[in-house]
Amino acid sequence: FKRLEPLFKTLAPEEGYLYCGKSGAGHFTKMVHNGIEYAMLQAYGEGFELLDASDFRLDLKRIARLWNRGSVVRSWLLELAEDAFEKDPELSGFKGYVDDSGEGRWTVMEGVERGIPLPAIATALFRRFRSREEDAFSDRFIAALRKEFGGHRPKRK
């Protein structure tokens, strides 16, 4: 690390790198970082979905800007949200399909191995899996049973 530190210092933003310890410690730290990112993205996504679904016709770009300037939830992710809403206010150019690159899975699996509960990260990971399903069997199953026990009308194809 000491031999390569001048390179890291040149390439990274100010205070943007850290020696975390023995071999693998940096990778492990980055893995956990990315797991946290999964949960943060999920929380932002849910919050903005609720704002969008309201009757108030809110300007989501302006809200992202406000929250990023004067709120406890400010972050680079909100800067990116502001940019995304600037380019496509309804996000209509996107399909609701979210890949996972593996770090969220690894983080959740590490939590299971160590007996550390990670419900927010696990939920965010599972929501990514769910985003890939259209007309999921489990949803059809639930709709069918609701019809059976409560007479609820299912939507038909």
User: Which amino acid is present at 3?
Assistant: R
Q: In the numeric block, which tokens belong to residue 157? A: 């194809």
| Contact status, residue 148 vs residue 113, Cβ threshold 8 Å | no
| Contact status, residue 35 vs residue 103, Cβ threshold 8 Å | yes
User: CB within 8 A of 51, min separation 6: which ones?
Assistant: 58, 60, 63
Give the Cα separation of 38 and 99 in Å (integer).
Answer: 11
Among this protein's residues, is 87 annotated catalytic?
A: no
Of these residues, 9, 30, 87, 147, which one is catalytic?
A: 30
Nearest Cα to 28, choosing from 98, 97, 99, 114?
114
Of these residues, 5, 9, 14, 37, which one is catalytic?
A: 37
Among this protein's residues, is 9 annotated catalytic?
A: no
User: Which amino acid is present at 84?
Assistant: A
Give the Cα separation of 79 and 77 in Å (integer).
Answer: 5
User: Which residue numbers are catalytic?
Assistant: 30, 37
